[in-house]
Amino acid sequence: MQLDAFDLNSSHEQPLAAKLRPKTLEDFFGQAKIRPQLEKLVSHPRHVIFWGPPGTGKTTLANIISTQIGRDLTVFSAVTSGIPELKRIIAEMLDRRREFGKESILFIDEIHRFNKSQQDALLPYLENGDFLFIGATTEYPHTSLNKALISRVSLIELKQLQVDDLTNILSRGVDDLKRTELQDYVEDLAKLSNGDARFALNQLARLAAFNSTELENKEHVLKELFEHARQYDRNANRHYDVISAFIKSIRGSDPDAALLYLAIMLDGGEDPEFIARRLMILASEDVGLANSQALQVTSNAHYVVKHIGMPEARITLAHATTFMALSPKSNSAYKAVDAALAFVQENPTIEVPGHLSNVSPEKKNYKYPHAYPGNWTEQRYLPKEANVQFYKPGTNGSEKMMVENWKHITKRS
């Protein structure tokens, strides 16, 4: 869909947030720390991805840049469209450039929804400068976007808006609605909107549906407006705090706390696959060899979440969460591989012993363990220069039994 800048006066039927969308940086509230970067984008346009919580101005900035540098803006949603539609739109933009000399901006909203191949499809066009690219995402780009794409763009983080910024925006909304009595609610709306300007203006529009008598009961009105507006942003500090508490509660074997933080994430709209992936990591990092079944349980949970989805997947996530919290814990494998990596990185190339090699004449000296009683025989596997012990046995759960069996077979003390 090709758009010039949004026409703020085109229709009184527009949502309030759309009507009040600023056209210039001078009218853009908030983001004071990145203002110099935004001004440079106008004076020296370059590919950019804006990332941050909803309602902080990502789409608005795309429109402002388009208006101020005089380029057509083509808006594309990564949520609803795929590569064929993207290629068609890009072809149209390139045709306009060849035939009419019109430079374009491609704005892709929710760019993190593109998979790797879809993101890769953009690379040659960005490399050639066929159009100006602006992306927007609510996800942390270094984990949700390809390194190749990130290397070709500037990343600019937008923060949640401050209460003062929201107050100014809402006051403009009150003026537009011509309902001066709503000004008494502006401070409350600003404080309760989690730094989200779009949400705040939507709540103001809802507020305008109340009559003067109803507005006198502020406590009742605010409860109705914000009853289901608990703060949970998948990209802000709250997101990282909650997942951190979730992980630490499982590590600390507290199923009730782990389930509480799971519920907070699900209630807040967190991606259930993200939760399932974290559980799989925990299965090896914190439960590990003490209960190797944890990896199977969490892998199965990820499969269910991916193929069944919400709301049923909440039960599977609760199953895996509780199982992990109740499991004995060991981080011996996690510590062992990090110790081994550190050793490799601190030493020159480590040569494989001849008897373990696949090509060395010494391979004839290899002793096949299954040819010996107990399927084991004395034999050195570490290189000569590596007199190390990376694995430090744990003493919990099934790891304790495995270690005892290992010591018995290998005649270790």
Grouping H, G, I as helix, E, B as strand and the rest as coil, residue 216 is: coil
Q: Identify residue 64 by its one-letter amino acid code.
A: I
In-domain check, residue 263: yes
Are 142 and 218 contained in the same domain?
no
The answer to whether residues 212 and 310 belong to one domain is no
Q: Which among 337, 344, 328, 329 is positioned nearest to 386, based on CA atoms?
A: 344
Q: Which of 272, 297, 326 is the last residue of a domain?
A: 326
Q: 174 and 126, same structural domain?
A: no
Same domain, 151 and 169: no
Domain boundary among 269, 296, 326: 326
| Residue 231 resides in a domain | no
Query: Of 258, 229, 230, which is closest to residue 244 (Cα–Cα)?
Result: 258
Domain that holds residue 267: 237-326
Is 66 part of any domain? yes
DSSP string, 87-116: HHHHHHHHHHHHHH---EEEEEETGGGS-H
Angle at 82 between CA 152 and CA 17, to 5 degrees: 80
Q: How does DSSP assign 6-48, residue by residue? A: --TTS-TTS-HHHHT--SSGGG--S-GGGHHHHHHHHHS---E
Within a domain: residue 276? yes
Q: For residue 269, give the CATH number of its domain.
A: 1.20.272.10
Residue 30 inside a domain? The answer is yes
Q: Residue 406: which CATH number?
A: 1.10.3710.10
Average pLDDT of each block of 10 consecutive residues along the chain (413 residues)? Answer: 40 76 90 93 95 90 94 86 85 91 92 87 92 92 89 93 93 94 94 87 92 91 75 58 92 95 88 92 95 96 91 95 96 94 90 92 93 92 88 91 89 74
The verdict on 346 and 386 lying in the same domain is yes
Q: Is residue 312 part of a domain?
A: yes
φ and ψ at 72, to 5 degrees?
-65, 140
> pTM value?
0.56
Domain end call among 307, 326, 345: 326
148 half-sphere exposure, CB direction, 13 A CA radius: 13
H/E stretch holding 76? strand 72-77
Note the pLDDT tens digit of each residue in 131-161.
999 999 988 888 789 999 999 999 999 988 9
The DSSP symbol for 382 reads: S
Whether residue 377 lies inside any domain: the answer is yes
Q: Are residues 215 and 267 in the same domain?
A: no
* 86 and 20, same domain (yes or no): yes
Q: Specify whether 78 is located in the same domain as 183.
A: no
Any idea what the CATH number is for the domain that residue 43 is in? Answer: 3.40.50.300
- Asked whether residue 173 falls in the same domain as residue 93, the answer is no
Rg of the chain taking only CA atoms, in angstroms = 29
Tell whether 387 and 337 lie within a shared domain: yes
84 in the same domain as 13: yes
**pLDDT tens profile 277-289:** 999 999 999 999 9
What's the number of domains the chain is made of?
4
Angle at 51 between CA 242 and CA 153, to 5 degrees: 135
pLDDT for residue 9: 41
Statement to judge: residues 103 and 202 lie in one domain: no
